[in-house]
C-alpha cells in the first residue's frame, strides 16, 4: 500500500519561495512507470494540477505556473519536492502530492500553505 505524506512550512511570506516535500512509503519513486505529482486546491475551490516528475527525472508543469515552479526528486530519501517562487496570497491553498500510474491513484492527505506577512 503506497502512502504519501506532505511536509513543509504552513506559513510563507509574500515574494518568498514555498517549499514542500512528499515522502513516499510502500513503493520506490524510482520504480518505472510512475508520475509523481503536485496538485493544489484553493480554499473552497476546485483542484489545480501543478505538475509532475517522471521516474526518469523528466518534468512537466502547468503552463500557467511553469515560470515559478520546480519539481525535483531525492531517490535516496524516496521523496519528491515542490518549490514555488515569488508567492503571493493567491498561492494560499492546500497542496497535495499524488502518484499517477494509469491515472492518479494515491494521494497524500494535503497540507495547507498560507501566504501572509
Partner 1 sequence: QTVVTQEPSLTVSPGGTVTLTCASSTGAVTTAYYPNWFQQKPGQAPRALIYSTSNKHSWTPARFSGSLLGGKAALTLSGVQPEDEADYYCLLFYRGARVFGGGTKLTVL
CA 49 – CA 31 distance, rounded (Å): 22
Closer residue to partner 1, CB minimum distance, 92 or 95:
95
Q: Of these, 10, 63, 67, 76, which contacts partner 1 (CB under 8 A)?
A: 63
Residue 62 interacts with partner 1 (CB under 8 A): yes or no: yes
Buried/exposed 80-102: b ≥16 CB within 10 Å, e otherwise: bbbebeebeeebbbbbbbbbeee
Contact 71, 62 (CB under 8 A): no
Q: Under the criterion CB under 8 A, does residue 47 sit at the interface with partner 1?
A: yes
Number of residues that bind partner 1 (CB under 8 A): 22
Out of 67, 90, 103, 116, the only residue in the binding site for partner 1 (CB under 8 A) is 103
With CB under 8 A as the contact rule, the residue among 48, 55, 70, 78 that binds partner 1 is 48
Residues 6+ apart with CB under 8 A from 5: 22, 23, 25, 108, 109
Task: Check binding of 65 to partner 1 (CB under 8 A).
Answer: no
Among 15, 17, 64, 72, binds partner 1 (CB under 8 A): 64
Q: Judge residue 26's burial from the number of C-beta atoms within 10 Å of its C-beta, 0-12 exposed, 13-18 middle, 19 or more buried.
A: exposed
The answer to the question of residue 55 lying near partner 1 (CB under 8 A) is no
Which residues contact partner 1 by CB under 8 A? 37, 39, 46-49, 52, 60, 62-64, 96, 101-110
Amino acid at each position: 500500500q503506497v502512502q504519501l505524506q506532505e511536509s513543509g512550512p504552513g506559513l510563507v511570506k509574500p515574494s518568498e519561495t514555498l517549499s514542500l516535500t512528499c515522502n513516499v512509503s510502500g513503493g520506490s519513486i524510482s520504480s518505472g512507470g510512475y508520475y509523481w505529482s503536485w496538485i493544489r486546491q484553493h480554499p473552497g475551490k476546485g483542484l489545480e494540477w501543478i505538475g509532475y516528475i517522471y521516474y526518469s527525472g523528466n518534468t512537466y508543469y502547468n503552463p500557467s505556473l511553469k515560470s515559478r515552479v520546480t519539481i525535483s526528486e531525492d531517490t535516496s530519501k524516496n521523496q519528491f519536492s515542490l518549490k514555488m517562487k515569488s508567492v503571493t496570497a493567491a498561492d494560499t491553498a492546500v497542496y497535495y502530492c499524488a502518484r499517477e500510474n494509469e491515472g492518479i491513484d494515491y494521494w497524500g492527505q494535503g497540507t495547507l500553505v498560507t501566504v501572509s506577512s
